[in-house]
Amino acid sequence: MKRPIGVIDSGVGGLTVARELMRQLPKEAFLYLGDTQRCPYGPRSEQEVRAFTWQMVNYLLRKNIKMLIVACNTATAYTLQELQENLDIPVIGVIEPGARAAIKVSQNKRIGVIGTEGTIQSKAYPRALQSIDENIRINDLACPPFVPMVEDGMLSGPEAEGIVARTLQPLKNMNHIDTLILGCTHYPLIKGLVQNEMGNHIQVISSGEETAREASLILSYQGLLNQSEEDPVHEFYTTGNMEKFRSVANSWFDQPVQVLKRIRLDHVQSSAI
């Protein structure tokens, strides 16, 4: 089936998931929409996040997508069940895949989670982890500076290192975790900084690989895989600064990313249709 797969995020962070999706599903076309104008979602209310998420979803539904990937952890925490109940296409979030990936590698069942304020307050990761193994112990930490840092393209250098060190200090004082979940899809863009600060004895997990694996399984099971031999054409949209989006995207992808256009979502339906 040649219909595209939609990927939504609060900004550029979901590109980390999109890249893994493209690697594992090379025949599929993807439509990526990043709401960089209203990023970050973490400090926003649940009502705002739900409204903004539905605006992105309804925009992509007009383009006849066959699957939706919610690549924003905050949006996943607040809207995934609602989206799954209201849409007639498969909808995948990033929290449960991330939890499964962490449990696979943890040796002592002590797992740390870093994310936005909204994701951490929602307790979505503790629920997901303990629904798989009730003996998992979790230390979580909100990291508000990280998303603005990534959106501004500050991915390395002394200033970025300082921000990461100061932000992660409380987590470093929580002893014995052996695995750390990057509970925001922006964070893999600074994974090296996080790994250096936490130490190589900590397994740092992002959800992209597991999310892509789940998408592949669902598409195959439902007979939705694209069997065409034509090269797929990907489309990228943003609500904010196109050049800033393109700069971060090009630093993450192996080939130049063409951002088709900046779009407005304020006129799009902000609830289920």
pLDDT at 247 over 90: no
Please report, for residues 48, 59, 74, 171, 218, the alpha-carbon distance to residue 268 in angstroms, rounded to integers and kept in the order given.
Answer: 14, 7, 20, 40, 29
| Distance between first and last Cα of the chain | 24
Say how many CA atoms lie within 13 Å of 8 toward its Cβ: 29
Element holding 6 (H helix, E strand): strand 5-9
Pick the CATH number of 95-207 from 3.40.50.1860, 1.20.1290.10, 3.30.1490.20, 3.30.420.40: 3.40.50.1860
Residue-wise pLDDT tens digits, 16-72:
999 999 999 999 999 999 999 999 999 999 999 999 999 999 999 999 999 999 999
pLDDT confidence tier of residue 223, bands split at 50, 70 and 90: very high
Pairing of strands 67-70, 5-9: parallel
pLDDT for res 114: 97
5-93+209-262 has CATH 3.30.2180.10 classification: no
Average pLDDT, integer, range 4-24: 94
User: Does 5-93+209-262 match 95-207 in CATH topology?
Assistant: yes
* Residues that are catalytic: 72, 184
Choose among 261, 257, 266: nearest CA to 242: 261
pLDDT confidence tier of residue 273, bands split at 50, 70 and 90: low
Cα separation, 128 vs 213, whole angstroms: 18
pLDDT for res 263: 87
Q: Where are the domains of the chain?
A: 5-93+209-262, 95-207
Q: Indicate the range of 128-137, 165-174, 263-272 predicted with least confidence.
A: 263-272
Using DSSP's 3-state secondary structure scheme, residue 26 falls into: coil
pLDDT for res 256: 78
3-state secondary structure 252-273: HCCCCCCEEEECCCCCCCCCCC
Supply the DSSP string of 174-190, one letter for each residue.
STT--EEEEESTTGGGG
pLDDT for res 67: 98
pLDDT for res 175: 65
pLDDT at 133 over 90: yes
Binding residues for substrate: 9-10, 41-42, 73-74, 185-186
Residue-wise pLDDT tens digits, 184-217:
999 999 999 999 999 999 999 999 989 999 999 9
* Higher-confidence position of 259 and 161: 161
pLDDT confidence tier of residue 105, bands split at 50, 70 and 90: very high
Binding residues: 9-10, 41-42, 73-74, 185-186
Residue-wise pLDDT tens digits, 141-182:
999 999 999 988 899 999 999 999 999 999 987 768 999 999
Contact 153, 248 (CB under 8 A): yes
